[in-house]
Amino acid sequence: MKIGIVCYPTFGGSGVVATELGKALAARGHQVHFVTYNQPARLDFFSENLFYHEVSVSNYPLFDYPPYELALASRLVDVVRFEKLDVLHVHYAIPHASAAFMAQQILLTYGINIPFITTLHGTDITLVGQDRTFKPVVTFSINKSDGVTAVSAHLRDDTYKYFKIEKDIKVITNFIDLTRFSLKPKDHFKKAIAPNGERILVHTSNFRKVKRTEDVVKIFAEVVKKIPAKLLMVGDGGERSLCEKLSRDLGIAENVRFLGKQDAIEEILSVADLFLMPSVSESFGLAALEAMACKVPVISSNAGGLPELNVEGVTGFLRDVGDVAGMAERAIYILEDDARLEQFKENALAHAKTFELSNILPQYENYYQEVIDKS
């Protein structure tokens, strides 16, 4: 198949899922064309089946807001016509689904009928999508999609709850490439971070409010009262400086390291004993799955799709959003006993394996074929 993928070229979340999916499809012999405004973060190697088409937006003085959606739609028309694509797969509804719809309508005037699939990732539904400004467009473009997928059952249910959707939404969960995300021998790094054998806790995110990163620091502050430990904060974003200040105010700064954005997340996760994800909302929690694949148990909130990923008492524990004391108490429970910690680590890996890329990829391939056959 010749597949066009539209996504945000970001370090985390939907951008990573779209890029990893495209790379895997290319490895299976499909021709994959990425259409976005920057080279996707993980599209870092050459493959004869992978193509990247940049969307550039002219910035005329007239435009206070350069019209990205129009530039994207025009680029899609071009790429579909000249590369003869079979299907478009857009990740994150806003504004990708409406741009794909516009491109589809324009292409009909050239006698080309291309179907498009929209994958909902979370904030496009739960936060941004519910904004009154976007809601009519999001509803319309989901209903006009030839196929719709959601990354968890919870996100599918939320989409039905908050929008008037007439389409079937298929759940295809996120996935993990276990050849990349697995325990790496990084003992020297572990020794440098935790020279006295301290437990290592990790949080990775874009440090947006939705991640409740201050709760991460507060949970850690409780843990370190009972157990010698270090906290690695990976990523960057608006809340980072608040967390830095909080860790200084709580007197734990020397045990907390802010590493900024990192490419080789799997190497950092390889030294970790516990992953913290206290988010207020999380459609799936890909960062937690990456941790589990590296044998790291998870303490998370029970928001959104997290209960579909983190199994209470097996791969970790889930507590209500904001229950810092409860999360800290469960973290200590896991970390205080070597044998117990090892069992949780084994369980985390075993459960991560059920999300292996090779299990999920055929679901997308079959869905593409189904949508193409119907169009």
**Contact positions toward ligand GMT, by CB under 6 A?**
10, 12-15, 17, 92, 121-123, 126, 151, 174, 206, 208, 210, 281-286, 304
CB closest to ligand GMT, residue no: 13
Residue type at position 335 = L
Residue closer to ligand GMT, measured from CB, 223 or 357: 357
Task: Give the helix ranges, DSSP H, for the chain.
Answer: 13-27, 68-83, 93-108, 123-126, 135-144, 153-162, 187-193, 213-226, 240-249, 265-269, 286-293, 324-335, 338-353, 357-374
Residue closer to ligand GMT, measured from CB, 31 or 300: 300
Residue closer to ligand GMT, measured from CB, 31 or 174: 174
- Tell me how far, at minimum, the Cβ of 337 lies from ligand GMT, in Å: 30
Residue closer to ligand GMT, measured from CB, 41 or 178: 41
- Tell me how far, at minimum, the Cβ of 131 lies from ligand GMT, in Å: 15
- Tell me how far, at minimum, the Cβ of 59 lies from ligand GMT, in Å: 25
Residue closer to ligand GMT, measured from CB, 107 or 148: 148
Residue closer to ligand GMT, measured from CB, 201 or 289: 289
- Tell me how far, at minimum, the Cβ of 263 lies from ligand GMT, in Å: 17
Contact 348, 298 (CB under 8 A): yes
Residue closer to ligand GMT, measured from CB, 24 or 107: 24
- Tell me how far, at minimum, the Cβ of 172 lies from ligand GMT, in Å: 10
- Tell me how far, at minimum, the Cβ of 36 lies from ligand GMT, in Å: 13
Of 176, 199, 360, give the one whose Cα is nearest residue 274. 199
CA 347 to CA 121: how far, in whole Å?
Answer: 26
Task: Give the helix ranges, DSSP H, for 114-269.
Answer: 123-126, 135-144, 153-162, 187-193, 213-226, 240-249, 265-269
- Tell me how far, at minimum, the Cβ of 152 lies from ligand GMT, in Å: 8
CA contacts within 13 A on the Cβ side of 294 = 25
- The residues, ordered by sequence, that sit 6+ positions from 247 with a Cβ below 8 Å of its Cβ are 217, 221, 231, 253, 256
CA 252 to CA 303: how far, in whole Å?
Answer: 28
